[in-house]
Chains A and B, each alone.
Chain A
Amino acid sequence: DARVTQTPRHKVTEMGQEVTMRCQPILGHNTVFWYRQTMMQGLELLAYFRNRAPLDDSGMPKDRFSAEMPDATLATLKIQPSEPRDSAVYFCASGFSPGIMNTEAFFGQGTRLTVV
């Protein structure tokens, strides 16, 4: 049963600490999305990769957030330094898009981050 795997599922950290969230996309998928979900802002797109290349990270605070895909089986989202306002659920999603337009995204179970 192919699925997107995210680790950790939960993370509690102190303000100022570095946080790294990991995602294993579904094998064969060529697109990866990172989303942040909060009650106030809903689902916000943070970063988008196609064929491992970052195509859009305009939704990501550049001073503290970074997203990478070191290989096709791993995507990472890093926050350094973390702040209480970063507390949210972070989702990774992957999909296969043969053309320009994206098709459906399959979501991981999310990482619930709490920064105290």
Chain B
Amino acid sequence: AQTVTQSQPEMSVQEAETVTLSCTYDTSESNYYLFWYKQPPSRQMILVIRQEAYKQQNATENRFSVNFQKAAKSFSLKISDSQLGDTAMYFCAFPAHNDMRFGAGTRLTVKP
């Protein structure tokens, strides 16, 4: 069974600094996607970034980028120039054939 592990329940960062959130997963598949979702206090789940496993290049979306290490089954999210609006729960997600598994989440607080 696929599992997704986020080992950092809570993190904090100063505004304008950089923070990295960790995620590891387990799968026997060779081709798949990986996602990071953000859930602000409004509770809306928002897709932040996606990575396709067959692509060597790490995905980037503005201030958000990933460090994808396929052999290590690691998929971390880097947030550069952190903003107060980045305060939220962040979930790593791994889709499989019949489901999409989420990690337990990391609560990120950006401090002014």
A2 at the interface (CB under 8 A from B): no
Residues of B within 8 A of A56 (CB): 98-99
- Separation of A45 and B32 alpha carbons in the complex (Å): 19
Residues of A within 8 A of B102 (CB): 35, 42-43
Residues of A within 8 A of B91 (CB): 43
Among the listed B32, B33, B43, B99, which residue makes an inter-chain contact with A104, where contact means beta carbons less than 8 Å apart? B33
Indicate if the CB atoms of A103 and B45 lie closer than 8 Å: no
Q: For chains A and B in complex, what number of residue pairs have CB atoms within 8 angstroms?
A: 57
- Separation of A48 and B95 alpha carbons in the complex (Å): 12
- Separation of A104 and B100 alpha carbons in the complex (Å): 9
Among the listed B46, B47, B50, B95, which residue makes an inter-chain contact with A101, where contact means beta carbons less than 8 Å apart? B95
- Separation of A50 and B98 alpha carbons in the complex (Å): 8
Indicate if the CB atoms of B95 and A102 lie closer than 8 Å: yes
- Separation of A104 and B50 alpha carbons in the complex (Å): 8
Interface size in chain B (residues, C-beta < 8 A): 25
Q: A43-B91, A101-B32, A109-B44 are in contact. Are A33 and B100 (CB under 8 A)?
A: yes
Indicate if the CB atoms of A45 and B99 lie closer than 8 Å: yes
CB-nearest residue of chain B to A49: B98
Indicate if the CB atoms of A45 and B44 lie closer than 8 Å: no
Tell me how far the C-beta of B6 lies from the nearest C-beta in chain A, rounded to whole angstroms: 10
B84 at the interface (CB under 8 A from A): no
Q: Considering the complex of A and B, which 10 residue pairs feature the smallest CB-CB distances, nearest first?
A: A102-B95, A107-B45, A56-B98, A43-B102, A55-B98, A42-B104, A45-B99, A104-B47, A48-B98, A100-B97
17 contacts between A and B (CB under 8 A): A33-B99, A33-B100, A42-B102, A45-B99, A45-B101, A50-B98, A89-B43, A101-B29, A101-B96, A102-B95, A102-B100, A104-B47, A104-B95, A105-B100, A106-B47, A109-B43, A109-B44
